[in-house]
Amino acid sequence: MSNLRKEYKIAVDAIRKQKKASIIASLRAATPKDTGEAAGGWAEDDGAIVNPVAHIVELNAGSSEQAGSRFIEKAILSEDGVSPNGIIVKNV
């Protein structure tokens, strides 16, 4: 791989890392808080942004009046330069 390609890859990877960190910060801020467990659950796992907290799906469906429904999608789509390329929220 040429030096230019290596530098490009390094730059793109840095931008992606920075954008994911920004999205995670936005999600933490948008997540309704009672104990803080759900807000603290946001993390990156193998390139995906995840929240393993069991009740995050119910919170996103609107179970909390603090954020209303679909706060996850709203937080992600409000980020500059983010456009969906598939599923935003996947229930597992």
Q: State the DSSP code for 78.
A: T
Residue 88 within a domain: no
Residue 50 within a domain: yes
Q: State the DSSP code for 59.
A: I
Q: In the numeric block, which tokens belong to residue 82?
A: 């983010």
Three-class DSSP category at 31:
coil
Tens of pLDDT, residues 17-52? 999 999 999 999 999 999 999 999 999 999 899 999
Residue 86 within a domain: no
Are 88 and 50 a contacting pair, CB within 8 Å?
no
| Count of residues making up the chain | 92
Who contacts 69 (Cβ-Cβ below 8 Å, separation ≥6)? 60, 61, 62
E strand or H helix at 30: helix 3-30
Are 56 and 40 a contacting pair, CB within 8 Å?
no
Q: How many domains does the chain have?
A: 1
Tens of pLDDT, residues 41-91? 999 999 899 999 999 999 999 999 888 899 999 999 999 988 877 777 777
Residue 29 structural domain: 3-77
Residue 39 within a domain: yes
Residue 89 within a domain: no
pTM (predicted TM-score): 0.85
